[in-house]
A = this chain, B = another copy of it.
Amino acid sequence: MKFLDPTITVDVVIFTIEDGTLKTLIIQRAREPFANSPALPGGFLLAGETSKDAALRILRDKAGVDGAYLEQLYTFDDPSRDPRGPIFSVTYFALVPPGEMTIRETEHTQRPRLMSAFSLPKLAFDHNKIVSYAIERLQSKVEYTNVTYSLLPKLFTLTELQKTYESILGRTLDKRNFRKKFMELGLVEETDSFSKGGRQRPARLHRFTSRKPSQLKKFF
């Protein structure tokens, strides 16, 4: 009876909102296999690291982000997923507020960029599957929890909040019902500040009453 310890990698789906669209950080692989293919940021586990440590390291190195929301997604281990042999990928997804990423090239990754999560090109390995899985998870999370606080700046307008939901769920929501829900549930509260710089009526800025994950009965 032979035991096998497959190699372990960690891949991270890093979501953010840009131009009202849900986007994911995609890099271009510098090396084989799948050299020059677009792929998720990821890498091998280093000695002494947990998978979460590795995910945090990838977030820091490739996106310049500390303290983002991070959640384990699934472990992919189909033997055909990597031509080099059986390689387990423990996957995570991260949520980063708009504009907080500092995208950096590294030795093995080129041309890191944000791409629309819903219309990605063919990615290396089984990375398209991983992204689909992450979107699915994000969509259901967003309907039953307050995680969106980690996709928005500290202060935001209710329209920005709504657009964030719409860009994740892929459908439009009713403005009045949306606001009613949030105010009734006490998830957000008014501040005394207003948005500036638009060429229209300024919008009141709001903040989340809590920036800790919490489960909710219902949502949309």
Contacts and interface: CB of A to CB of B under 8 A. Distances in A.
Contact of A6 (B4, B45, B77): B45
Nearest to A51: B77
Number of copies: 2
A79 interface: yes
Nearest to A90: B75
Contacts of A79: 48, 50
A220 interface: no
Interface in A13-72: 44-52, 72
Contacts of A52: 77
Contacts of A3: 7, 44-47
Interface of A: 1-8, 44-52, 72, 74-75, 77-79, 86, 88, 90
19 contacts: A1-B46, A2-B47, A3-B7, A3-B45, A4-B46, A5-B7, A5-B8, A5-B45, A6-B8, A8-B88, A48-B86, A50-B77, A50-B78, A50-B86, A51-B75, A52-B77, A72-B74, A77-B90, A88-B90
